[in-house]
């Protein structure tokens, strides 16, 4: 057996460097990461050194974070939707993705469901642009009252679940909503694309670095019949809802969303004109709304425009308020007794405040 510790993480091979640790620590790492160990030849995608300032228990616990961050960085910019999620696969390799914020029940749900389904991940599920899924079978971080750190346990050590199929494909994308006052029988709600984007974008790593990210996510969601939200109280009640989702799983092909570049900002050459700021992607939701993705201080942000917002945003190509108003009236008609210019100016102000429009030498406000 090689002395190198190589693990498969979201399609990347990460080497864990245990140099300088006392005898026996490498064995603990191998045991915790046994479900992710790989015998890949050649160079690793990245090397993660065990933190020398931490004791063995703390260092082992921190490896999950450090390996995850290294793998995410290596896959950054690939046509891969990296969702902060748990993933479970049936015998045919169909994967149910359970997404939610940290501390809201993903690991508990994964532990329960992995009695019947193969464990894919409880941290990050990578969905490629063709619908295939790459596993990340990292250790589960289990709270033990006797330990100051979360204990790292290989999923297969907790209970023996079914083997992982060779080819994995996404079958369902679920936003889990566990609540203490939730229903005894899980409630399943189909989400429209705007709601799905608003809920899933914050749980996506490096969303703005993906090619045509909103289009890619839209097409992956369409291939599985859209995202759903499941409201529930206890993880033990999820089996029936998950079975129903797999029974009704769509097998549609994924559309090709590659080839789109970030939308450049409008050049402002006149006086008193407005223009669009740079956005990574713009997606027509086909119901009068428009989804925009732009970079933010925390990574990325999805804006969903409705009403006259999409028309105003499209029209703001170096035009004045009066010129934008003309386009809005042409598209939507006159707004009864209201002043169309005032309505357009209010919409411009909102878009300007959200960082979606910029002005030349004018002040926002009517």
Say how many domains are in the chain. 2
203 and 291 fall within a common domain: no
Ordered DSSP codes for 274-332: EEEPPBSEEEE-SSS-EEEEEEETTEEEEEEE-TTHHHHHHH-EEE-HHHHHHHHHHHH
Whether pLDDT at 78 is above 90? yes
Question: With contact defined as beta carbons under 8 Å apart, do 227 and 194 qualify?
Answer: no
Tell me if 42 is assigned to some domain: no
* Confidence category of residue 2, pLDDT binned at 50, 70, 90: low
SS3 of 223-269: HCCCCEEEEECCHHHCHHHHHHHHHCCCCCCCCCCCCCCCECCCCCC
**Average confidence score pLDDT of the chain:** 90
226 with 143, same domain?
Answer: yes
Choice between 115 and 239, residue whose per-residue pLDDT is larger: 239
- 38 within domain boundaries: no
Give the pLDDT score at 158: 78
- 201-205-208-214 Cα dihedral, nearest 10 degrees: -40
Band of the pLDDT at 362, cuts 50, 70, 90? low
Q: How confident is the model at residue 87 (pLDDT cuts 50, 70, 90)?
A: very high
User: Which of 51-55, 100-104, 171-175, 337-341 has the lowest average pLDDT?
Assistant: 100-104
CATH number of the domain that residue 130 is part of: 3.40.50
pLDDT in tens, 315-328: 999 999 999 999 99
Do 324 and 188 lie in one domain? The reply is no
213-222 average pLDDT score = 93
Q: How confident is residue 18, by pLDDT bands cut at 50, 70 and 90?
A: very high
Contact 113, 241 (CB under 8 A): no
CA angle 12, 216, 274 (to 5 degrees): 120
Give the pLDDT confidence score for residue 33 in this predicted structure. Answer: 96
Q: Are residues 236 and 105 in the same domain?
A: yes
Domain that holds residue 117: 76-247
Confidence label for 161 from pLDDT (cuts 50, 70 and 90) = confident
Instruction: Read off the pLDDT of each residue in 33-55 and give the average, rounded to a whole number.
Output: 90
Q: What's the DSSP call for residue 132?
A: B
Closest CA to 80 of 252, 221, 217, 203: 217
Q: pLDDT value at position 253?
A: 64
**241 shares a domain with 105:** yes
Residues 214 and 342 in one domain: no
As a whole number, mean pLDDT of residues 126-148 equals 88
pLDDT at 366: 41
Mean pLDDT of 142-160: 80
- Per residue in 273-321, pLDDT (tens digit) is 999 998 999 999 989 999 999 988 778 899 999 999 999 999 999 999 9
């Amino acid at each position: 057996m090689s002395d190198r510790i190589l693990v498969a993480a979201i399609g990347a091979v990460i080497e864990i460097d245990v140099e300088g640790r006392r005898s026996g620590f490498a064995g603990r790492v191998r045991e915790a990461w046994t479900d992710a160990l790989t015998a890949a030849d050649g160079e690793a995608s990245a090397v993660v050194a065990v933190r020398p300032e931490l004791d063995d228990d703390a260092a082992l616990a921190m490896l999950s974070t450090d390996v995850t961050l290294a793998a995410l960085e290596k896959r950054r910019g690939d046509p891969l939707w990296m969702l902060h999620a748990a993933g479970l696969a049936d015998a045919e390799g169909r994967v149910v993705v359970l997404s939610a914020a940290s501390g809201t029940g993903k690991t508990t749900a994964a532990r329960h469901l992995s009695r019947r389904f193969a464990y894919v991940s409880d941290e990050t599920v990578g969905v490629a642009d063709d619908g295939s899924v790459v596993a990340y079978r990292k250790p589960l971080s289990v709270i033990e009252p006797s330990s100051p750190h979360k204990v790292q346990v290989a999923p297969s050590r907790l209970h023996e679940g079914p083997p992982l199929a060779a080819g994995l494909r996404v079958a369902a994308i679920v936003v889990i909503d566990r609540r203490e006052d939730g229903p005894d029988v899980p409630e399943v709600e189909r989400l429209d694309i705007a709601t799905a984007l608003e809920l899933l974008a914050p749980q996506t790593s490096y969303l703005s670095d993906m090619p045509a990210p909103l289009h890619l996510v839209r097409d992956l969601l369409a291939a599985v019949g859209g995202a759903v939200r499941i409201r529930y109280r206890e993880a033990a009640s999820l089996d029936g809802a998950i079975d129903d989702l797999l029974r009704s799983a769509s097998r549609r092909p994924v559309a090709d969303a590659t080839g789109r570049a970030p939308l450049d900002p409008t050049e402002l050459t006149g006086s008193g004109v407005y223009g669009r700021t740079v956005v990574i992607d713009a997606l027509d939701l086909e119901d009068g709304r428009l989804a925009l993705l732009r970079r933010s201080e925390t990574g990325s942000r999805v804006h969903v425009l409705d009403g006259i917002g999409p028309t105003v945003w499209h029209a703001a190509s170096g035009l004045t308020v009066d010129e934008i108003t003309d386009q809005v009236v042409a598209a939507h008609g006159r707004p009864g007794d209201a002043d169309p210019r005032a309505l357009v100016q209010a919409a411009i102000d909102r878009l300007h405040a959200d960082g979606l429009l910029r002005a030349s030498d004018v002040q926002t406000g009517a």
